[in-house]
Structure 1
Amino acid sequence: MHSRFGRLLLTAIAAGIGFGVGVVAALIAMAKPVRDAAHYAPFPHSVPKYPGGVAFRFAMAHDVVHERFPRHGPAYYTERNRLTRAKLAALPSDDPAAFPLADDLGVGLERLGRSDDAAAVLRDKLARQQARGLTGRDLYTSYANLGTFLVHANFQKALAGDPAAKARFHEGLDLVKKSVEVNPEAHFGREAWQVAIGQFLLAAANDPSRLKATDFLGNKLDESVVPTEGRPLTKYSGYSYILRKYSDALADPGALTDETVRQSIRASISAVGSQEKVDVSSGRWHVDAVPFDEPMLGIIGMWRQGGGANPHFALAIGEIMLRVGQRYIAWAAFERAHQLAGRFWPDPALQQFLRDHCRQRQATIEETLPPEEVADLRPRFEAELAHGEAYQRAYQEYEAKKLAAGIPLNDEHLFDEFHATHPPIASATGPEEWYAYQEEAFQQLPKLFGEAVKWGCLAAGVTALLAAWALRPRVRATLTPVEVEKHASPG
């Protein structure tokens, strides 16, 4: 084996052994860090239901519960209505440019508490549109706004049993349904949830015990929910697989256009609402279970752009957030619902039921939190709500002062001074929006193996060098007898 071929063969064998040892050693060394490392990705609700739509963020729920958003006041809408009427007066009644102005006027009247007047404006607009032969999506805003105004104007009287008010309330719901049919993507589907709460309240008028059974989405109020087990993901979603398969789409959810991918990702969102099929035509109410972000966006839209704080909305937010593991938002929502209980239903016993239910849910949440955090929950809630309400008052006082001073409503710098002295009120998003997970080594085997091969090649090279050095030919000096004698003699 001292031939050149033999040395090469032994060197190659040594290099192969070194490569194998290097690969195995690298895989062992890298496996545990990979397994232990935390990875982060957006939850599936970061993908909106419709292309280009708004995606839900938990900060939105926190902000609406604590009134952390700007809200125009009476002075703003009074001035806007004045300007809108002037524009309408300058246009022929059947001019298409008058239609969006009628919407503005109707909304402005509604915000000033004049729902009947708002409905009259929209009835006239709808009649003029139909006279021009407009249909379908062209009538969306008329259906949505007129329906909303009729519901708001007749709600209390309808619940009290007034036949005429009930008829107008039903008409309003039917119009809102039409708006959903012709334009389901508008306002993140807000109108669909207007229909849901309208139907729920009508069903409750016939059977008030329903108010003790579910919220307006169908979440059961007597259901035992463990706060620490809730997740924004379905229990067996296989979301880690989804992340690996659709990582590019999740890197920019707003730009996603492939509907198959969109639906595959959104199928992992936790569903809330009723699981039972109920015949609505019989006077009983029903909402199918849906991804939780859909009703949340609807509730937020109705709260911010509609009638404001509402005990039914606050209760639903609490029940949803409890089911998706957002304990602090859920606790705050139940606290807000407790505060608003006087508007839950005319019956004092049902108002007290809501208060008791909220306290029970809060107690369940508090059992999962450290005592020092529990002690801080209510003071923190009160401080945040006071901050939000103070911001809204300051905002409305500022705009009223500026408008009274003659600053035009459409002046793009109208609110510059306000924003210069008031930091943004909206809460920033945080880690609650991110899915943290660990991957087993085998899940990253292709990547790990690629890295291990590099180390294997290095080990093979080092081993080959060592083998070549160890197997190098050894040249031994050979002396003649005369030279030996010469070296052996003295001197």
Structure 2
Amino acid sequence: MVHGVIHERFPRHGREHYRSRDWHTRQRLAALTPDDPATFPLADDLAVGLERLGRPDEAVAVARDKLTRQQARGLSGRDLYTSYANLGTFLIHASFADAVAGVPAARQQFCEGVGLIRKSVEVNPEAHFGRERWQMAVAEFLLAAMYDRELLRTFDCLGNRLDLSIEECLNREANWTQTGYGRAVDAQFSQGKAVYGMQSFFEPGVDHADPARWTELRRIREHITKVGAENGWDTVPVPSHRKPVPFDEPVLGIIGMWRQGGGANPHFALALGEVMLRVGQRHIAWAAYERASRLADRYWPDPSLRGFLLTHCRKRQTDIEQTLIHIPPASATHPAWQNVTPPIPAAEVAQLRTRFEAELAHGQGYQRAYQEYENKRIAKGASIFDEHLFDEFHAGREPIASAVGPEEQFVWVSQGKRQTYVLSWGLAGGTFGAGLAAVVVAGLLRWRSGRKRVDFGPTSG
């Protein structure tokens, strides 16, 4: 999934889709009275579409009116979730540029947006895989950076330190009792010890996707490598994110915001690079840094901060490349920390940027083709609500989503089976050794017997 968003390998609607949706939504709203509860979800559709069409002020007005009408009807709590989430998002997006520039009214609007996102999390914390929680954390960090720009040289938006060396990120043998960085799971899981507290997770045939077993099985998540909120983060005013968390939680949040929200963003790309590096996914981390570097003009208005991001990304990439080709000396007695996976040829590393450009062009080309097809169908009168609208487009095409790799698999042998294998190997080795000894002894006796015949046998006369 991370590889997919970095390279834009997912469908994305174009402006004609949102223009059509805007027209249909207004038609449906016109047929209802303002007090009809059916107008509330339609108002969400209208406001989201307006923002996608580059009309954020109108989106704010629609969402604010909806929230006011809901509150007038006495609605509260979870019923207000989408109003809080959408209005907060629109306010943050609409005010960000001026807020960074120091415009007081814009900063006030930005703060209002953050507060509304906070309310959306309070009333519906699990929505969208917790996406709003991470939207809130990122917004709080950016707000803090408006008052202290040095934070942008110190942390990414999740609290990963940008000055942490690559060895500290990858050397599991040196850090497994502290951060556990370098792999996606902790040392206990890698060593097969997690089974002692979670036997049911490893039972043959267990369905990990069965919702009825999630409460029982979710404890396995304790072994996922935790990231973010590193040393010094406790002084940064990001109240919603105070301690390291399993890496997949913020990653899913960022993926959701990238795909369903404002799209590619240098802060998101940088954070994905730092997280992927800390869990040993060096190729994906390299690509994330490359994408972040190409978005550097949106990192911050200050040219020195843009330059910092470019320099940081290039250094990370160079360090990653060195680990990818590292071959330890023949005298080494332990695996090198650089060899998270076996080394690859230097020629392959030299092609990383060329391959990245080809993959990004493929993803962006897919999105253009998707939108061109969509535009033509809409122009011919097709409905955007037709579930078969894209059947012809998808026919004969390979799936655009990145293929799942071996990173999704964990090969595990239970302690009992390992003992059985060791015992079997020992017995087999003993039997083989006894047989080999018998062959050697027999050969030796045969040789000695031959020598006796030569030495003491009859001689020719």
The answer for the alignment partner of 2:309 in structure 1 is 354
Verify: 1:418 aligned to 2:359, yes or no. no
Kindly provide the amino acid, as one letter, of the partner of residue 193 in structure 1: W
The whole-number CA distance in structure 1 between the counterparts of 2:91 and 2:110 is: 6
C-alpha change, 1:241 and 1:404, in structure 2 (3 Å) is same
Question: How far is the alpha carbon of 1:71 from its aligned partner?
Answer: 0.2
8 Å Cα contact 1:398-1:418 kept in structure 2: yes
Verify: 1:409 aligned to 2:384, yes or no. yes
Kindly provide the amino acid, as one letter, of the partner of residue 278 in structure 1: D
Question: How far is the alpha carbon of 1:113 from its aligned partner?
Answer: 1.4
8 Å Cα contact 1:256-1:262 kept in structure 2: no
Structure 1's unaligned 5+ residue stretches are 1-59, 453-491
The answer for the alignment partner of 2:249 in structure 1 is 294
The whole-number CA distance in structure 2 between the counterparts of 1:236 and 1:228 is: 16
The answer for the alignment partner of 1:136 in structure 2 is 77
Aligned counterpart for 2:183 among listed residues 231, 253, 262: 231
Question: How far is the alpha carbon of 1:422 from its aligned partner?
Answer: 3.0
The answer for the alignment partner of 2:452 in structure 1 is none
Question: How far is the alpha carbon of 1:228 from its aligned partner?
Answer: 6.6
Verify: 1:209 aligned to 2:150, yes or no. yes
Question: How far is the alpha carbon of 1:251 from its aligned partner?
Answer: 3.9
The answer for the alignment partner of 1:332 in structure 2 is 287
Verify: 1:382 aligned to 2:357, yes or no. yes
C-alpha change, 1:447 and 1:157, in structure 2 (3 Å) is same
Verify: 1:75 aligned to 2:16, yes or no. yes
Residue deviations 1:222-244 (CA, integer Å, cap 9, x gap): 00133474100123446623347
C-alpha change, 1:166 and 1:372, in structure 2 (3 Å) is same
Aligned counterpart for 1:310 among listed residues 262, 265, 268: 265
- Which structure is richer in relative contact order (CA contacts within 8 A, separation 6 or more)? 1
TM (normalized to structure 2)?
A: 0.80
Residue deviations 1:4-32 (CA, integer Å, cap 9, x gap): xxxxxxxxxxxxxxxxxxxxxxxxxxxxx
8 Å Cα contact 2:161-2:230 kept in structure 1: no
8 Å Cα contact 1:279-1:285 kept in structure 2: no
SS at match of 2:250: helix
Residue deviations 1:249-281 (CA, integer Å, cap 9, x gap): 984222144565334200000000014563666
Aligned counterpart for 2:96 among listed residues 155, 178, 183: 155
The whole-number CA distance in structure 1 between the counterparts of 2:61 and 2:206 is: 48
Structure 2 counterparts to residues 86-235 of structure 1, below 5 A: 86-226=27-167, 227=170, 229=172, 230-235=182-187
Question: How far is the alpha carbon of 1:111 from its aligned partner?
Answer: 0.8
Structure 2 counterparts to residues 386-397 of structure 1, below 5 A: 386-397=361-372
The whole-number CA distance in structure 2 between the counterparts of 1:209 and 1:303 is: 25
The answer for the alignment partner of 1:274 in structure 2 is 229
C-alpha change, 1:373 and 1:238, in structure 2 (3 Å) is closer
8 Å Cα contact 2:47-2:58 kept in structure 1: yes
Structure 2 counterparts to residues 8-19 of structure 1, below 5 A: none
C-alpha change, 1:398 and 1:260, in structure 2 (3 Å) is closer
8 Å Cα contact 1:315-1:334 kept in structure 2: yes
The whole-number CA distance in structure 2 between the counterparts of 1:152 and 1:349 is: 24
SS at match of 2:54: coil
The whole-number CA distance in structure 1 between the counterparts of 2:4 and 2:378 is: 27
8 Å Cα contact 2:136-2:240 kept in structure 1: no
**RMSD (Å) for aligned C-alpha atoms:** 2.3
Q: Matched residues, percent identical?
A: 60
Kindly provide the amino acid, as one letter, of the partner of residue 320 in structure 2: I
Question: How far is the alpha carbon of 1:97 from its aligned partner?
Answer: 1.0
8 Å Cα contact 1:67-1:388 kept in structure 2: yes
Question: How far is the alpha carbon of 1:430 from its aligned partner?
Answer: 1.8
Verify: 1:85 aligned to 2:85, yes or no. no
8 Å Cα contact 1:278-1:284 kept in structure 2: no
The whole-number CA distance in structure 1 between the counterparts of 2:213 and 2:371 is: 43
The answer for the alignment partner of 1:5 in structure 2 is none
The whole-number CA distance in structure 1 between the counterparts of 2:184 and 2:160 is: 15
8 Å Cα contact 2:81-2:124 kept in structure 1: yes
The whole-number CA distance in structure 2 between the counterparts of 1:250 and 1:129 is: 48
8 Å Cα contact 1:278-1:285 kept in structure 2: no
C-alpha change, 1:446 and 1:326, in structure 2 (3 Å) is closer
The whole-number CA distance in structure 1 between the counterparts of 2:387 and 2:268 is: 34
**Aligned positions, number:** 390
8 Å Cα contact 2:289-2:317 kept in structure 1: yes
Kindly provide the amino acid, as one letter, of the partner of residue 382 in structure 1: E
C-alpha change, 1:380 and 1:250, in structure 2 (3 Å) is farther
Question: How far is the alpha carbon of 1:200 from its aligned partner?
Answer: 0.8
The answer for the alignment partner of 1:322 in structure 2 is 277
SS at match of 2:166: coil
| Higher gyration radius (CA) | 1
The whole-number CA distance in structure 1 between the counterparts of 2:422 and 2:318 is: 47
SS at match of 1:412: coil
The whole-number CA distance in structure 2 between the counterparts of 1:83 and 1:215 is: 41
The whole-number CA distance in structure 2 between the counterparts of 1:280 and 1:321 is: 23
8 Å Cα contact 2:133-2:240 kept in structure 1: no
The whole-number CA distance in structure 1 between the counterparts of 2:101 and 2:123 is: 32
C-alpha change, 1:440 and 1:258, in structure 2 (3 Å) is closer
The whole-number CA distance in structure 2 between the counterparts of 1:104 and 1:192 is: 22
C-alpha change, 1:260 and 1:397, in structure 2 (3 Å) is closer
8 Å Cα contact 2:156-2:271 kept in structure 1: yes
Verify: 1:371 aligned to 2:312, yes or no. no
TM (normalized to structure 1)?
A: 0.75
The whole-number CA distance in structure 2 between the counterparts of 1:112 and 1:179 is: 24
The answer for the alignment partner of 1:25 in structure 2 is none
SS at match of 2:234: coil
Q: Which moved more, 1:114-123 or 1:257-266?
A: 257-266
The whole-number CA distance in structure 2 between the counterparts of 1:71 and 1:251 is: 36
Kindly provide the amino acid, as one letter, of the partner of residue 430 in structure 1: G
